[in-house]
Amino acid sequence: MDFLLCLLALGLLFLQHVSADFYSDIDITFGADHIQILDDGQTLHLSLDNTSGSGFQSKNEYLFGKIDMEIKLVPNNSAGTVTAFYLSSEGDKQDEIDVEFLGNLSGNPYVMQTNVYLQGDGNREQQLYLWFDPTTGFHNYSLLWSPRQILFSVDGIAVRVFENNEDLGVAYPKNQAMRIRGSLWNGDSWATRGGAVKIDWSKAPFVASFANFSSADACVSNSSSAK
Positions marked active-site: 96, 100
Q: 3-state DSSP call for residue 129? A: strand
The answer to whether the pTM exceeds 0.85 is yes
- The pLDDT, as a whole number, for residue 37 is 98
Single-letter code of the amino acid located at 129? Y
More confident residue, 226 or 55: 55
CA distance 32 to 186: 16
Q: What is the CATH number of domain 18-220?
A: 2.60.120.200
* pLDDT greater than 60 at residue 133: yes
* pLDDT greater than 80 at residue 11: no
Q: 3-state DSSP call for residue 163? A: strand
Q: Which residues, 6 or more positions from 114, have their beta carbon under 8 angstroms from its beta carbon? A: 98, 99, 100, 125, 126, 127, 152, 159, 160
Surface-to-core class of residue 49, CB atoms within 10 Å of its CB (0-12 exposed, 13-18 middle, 19+ buried): middle
DSSP code of residue 100: E
* pLDDT greater than 80 at residue 183: yes
Q: Which residues, 6 or more positions from 55, have their beta carbon under 8 angstroms from its beta carbon? A: 28, 29, 30, 31, 46, 84, 181, 182, 183, 184, 185
Surface-to-core class of residue 168, CB atoms within 10 Å of its CB (0-12 exposed, 13-18 middle, 19+ buried): exposed
Question: Is there a contact between 164 and 172 (Cβ–Cβ < 8 Å)?
Answer: yes
Q: Where on the phi/psi map is residue 7: left (φ > 0), alpha (ψ -120 to 50), or beta?
A: alpha
- The pLDDT, as a whole number, for residue 39 is 95
pLDDT single digits (tens) 35-64: 999 999 999 999 999 999 999 999 999 999
* pLDDT greater than 90 at residue 5: no
* pLDDT greater than 60 at residue 187: yes
- The pLDDT, as a whole number, for residue 221 is 87
Question: Is there a contact between 61 and 176 (Cβ–Cβ < 8 Å)?
Answer: no
pLDDT single digits (tens) 147-165: 999 999 999 999 999 999 9
